[in-house]
Amino acid sequence: TGNTGGTTPPAGGSTPTGTNQSGNNTFGSGSGDVGSSDVSFAEVKRVRELYSEGFRLFSEDPVRAREFLSRAYVSGLLPAEDEKRVRVNIARLNETLVFSRTVVPGDPFAQSYTVRPNDSLSAIVSQRSLLIDHRLLARVNDLKNPNNIRLGQQLKLITGPFHLVVHKNAYRADLFMGDADDRVFVRSFVVGLGEGNSTPVGTFRVRPNSKLINPEWTNP
């Protein structure tokens, strides 16, 4: 598995790193519990197909590659080594799909926009109902001064929404874009946790207008 489908880098990234070329992957030996009676052979086979097809499409269709690899990743049926491989390579795709000015055809989370009279980044976010912060648009479009956009300028818009899944046992936060079955993996971050396993478990939502930029923090 893990065939890249060619050596020509795609618009949305480059050929995957560390893929298993031997075809001897043992799926279900990692974080997913394939040995459980609740997991069928058909499910494992489907995850294997998503994984293989994702890497096959890596160069020719980065949008679909990200979709297939994300679906394999969130299944919980990949071995730990293959989960890491997927995280690394989708993050490489997203350097273009998410964090560059390039809009790749067929990407459901990115669109082109032409600046209109009296536009601002915050107004664009509001008018287009984008579930993101306007500062992300500034970063994606490499705007040194977010307040300085010109009439007729082409911008890349990211639609969102984003959410994080924190894996306490791995000290890792996985960032996703989209909802439910349509979500795609974006990238991972190493995170610190509360002392004495005090970080609570559950689902939490950031309240509107409650985010702080570089907040002060004092070790209690």
Instruction: Determine the residue type at 53.
Output: E
Residues 100-137: b if buried by 16+ CB within 10 A, e if exposed: beebbeebebbeebebeeebebeebbeeeebebbeebb
- Mapped onto helix, strand or coil, the DSSP state of residue 107 is coil
| In the block, residue with structure tokens 């795709």 | 93
Mark out the alpha helices in 32-172 (DSSP H runs).
41-56, 62-74, 80-97, 121-127, 134-140
pLDDT of residue 70: 98
- At what angle are helices 80-97 and 41-56 packed, to 10 degrees? 40
Strand 172-177 vs strand 154-158: parallel, antiparallel, or unpaired?
unpaired
What is the full per-residue pLDDT of the chain (220 aa) written as tens digits? Answer: 333 333 344 333 445 554 444 344 455 545 544 444 577 899 999 999 999 999 999 999 999 999 999 999 999 999 999 999 999 999 999 999 999 999 999 999 999 999 999 999 999 999 999 999 999 999 999 999 999 999 999 999 999 999 999 999 999 999 999 988 899 999 999 999 988 889 999 999 988 778 788 888 888 7
3-class SS of residue 215: coil
In 3D space, the residue among 131, 157, 135 whose CA is nearest the CA of residue 144 turns out to be: 135
Determine which helix (DSSP H) or strand (DSSP E) holds 197, and give its type and residue range.
none
